[in-house]
Amino acid sequence: MRQRVVVTEDPEGLRTLRFEQGGARQSVVWPGEPLRLEIPYTRMSMAGLAFVPEPERILVVGLGGGAIPMFLRAVLPEVAIDVVDVEPDVVEAAKLYCGFQEDDALRVHVADGRSFIEASGPAYSLIVLDAYGPDNIPPHLATREFLGAARARLTADGAVLGNVWESVSNPLFPSMLRTWRVSFPQLHRLDVPSTTNRILVGLSHTEAYSHVDLVDRAARLERELGLPFELGRMVSRGHRQVPRRVKDGHILTDAALD
């Protein structure tokens, strides 16, 4: 069932996209100012670029108001960016009210994220899964089989990044963490300060990334891209590598969806 998309604006011009009046924030944007990432997890998500410092193609699953893809388009003008969202009304609202625009390098596709990833197509340096809500996890986008399909669409040095809530509203978090861990050769997490947002980064390779290396990379990106927030400091405080064995939760599979 399609959800009603509601976009509101505060007195300062900040626009918020929700599903239904009073629903959780799906996206927050400053139209015309793509570098102003308002929600903390969106800023921490840019740490994905520290794992993939020279991306050639990026996929974002979940458009919302377009905050993440518009930011990436602004700081990486030479990189091809695909965005996929299952809701045509979300795409329309993002274009009409949130400043989102397509061009030769930034393209949006109305489709189910899993179907898009499982179809044939180019390999991606970075896949950003921004389709999980605080209390609404699309089951078919959380299984081992789906994450395996996402990993198969990566370049040899690519990464899959997802924003997941570790809170009472998401009792699946332990199982999601365990499922991500068994789906990638290595898994990192970045805890967003003062929130329950956890950024998971699964890598398609086994080359080790130390905490110091990642902090240095993030700080370098902050300088080179002119980021308006302290990415290096955020990574320094929030990063840790997930051990190979995760005991809590269970592995989420397609079979359990039947």
Any idea which residue has 């009409």 for tokens?
Answer: 96
Tokens for 2, please give them.
């399609």
Any idea which residue has 């809170």 for tokens?
Answer: 167
Catalytic residue among 82, 85, 104, 130: 130
Give the strand pairing for 197-203 and 186-191: antiparallel
Any idea which residue has 């899993």 for tokens?
Answer: 114
Active site residue 130: yes
Residue 200's beta-bridge partner residues?
162, 189
Determine the Cα–Cα distance for residues 155 and 153; give it in Å rounded to an integer.
7
Contact status, residue 17 vs residue 98, Cβ threshold 8 Å: yes
Which positions are catalytic? 130
